[in-house]
A = this chain, B = another copy of it.
Amino acid sequence: MQNIPPQVQALLGQLESYQQQLQLVIQQKQKVQVDLNDAKKALEEIEKVEENTPIYKTVGTLIVKISKDKAVEELKEKIETLEVRLNALNRQEQKLNEKIKELTQKIQSMLRPTAG
């Protein structure tokens, strides 16, 4: 780092911070995506069961009887919430990728040997 001007070092620090934020967003996206797939598969499976099939839901360490209609309704709400969250994370990812691209270009131009 000795030969890198202080200005560029500051930008490199900022770049690293954006990359860490991006990693975090990507991890969160993966988790939401898994939860979303699980919820969609569960909905598909619940919708197929006969109308009077006993269904329970887990509430922490408790298990409580629930009607099929209520189970379907709650799953749909969960899916909607997860989709909203996934969209927000996608937007964050895109913005971070843009910032990283811009910053990388800026750093490269500052490190490029100038004519003269």
Which A positions have Cβ atoms within 8 angstroms of B?
A: 38-39, 41-42, 45-46, 49, 53-66, 71, 75
Pairwise interchain contact A63-B56, C-beta atoms closer than 8 A: yes
Interface centre among A45, A54, A63 (most CB of B within 10 A): A63
B residues less than 8 Å from A53 (CB atoms): 64-65
B residues less than 8 Å from A39 (CB atoms): 60
B residues less than 8 Å from A64 (CB atoms): 45-46, 49, 53-56
Copies of this polypeptide in the complex: 4
Q: Closest CB of chain B to A40's CB: distance in Å?
A: 10
Pairwise interchain contact A42-B65, C-beta atoms closer than 8 A: no
Given A49-B64, A64-B49: A42 and B57 within 8 A (CB)? no
Pairwise interchain contact B46-A55, C-beta atoms closer than 8 A: no
Pairwise interchain contact A41-B65, C-beta atoms closer than 8 A: no
Give 10 A-B contacts (CB < 8 Å), ordered by A residue: A41-B59, A42-B59, A42-B62, A54-B65, A56-B56, A56-B64, A57-B63, A58-B61, A62-B71, A63-B63
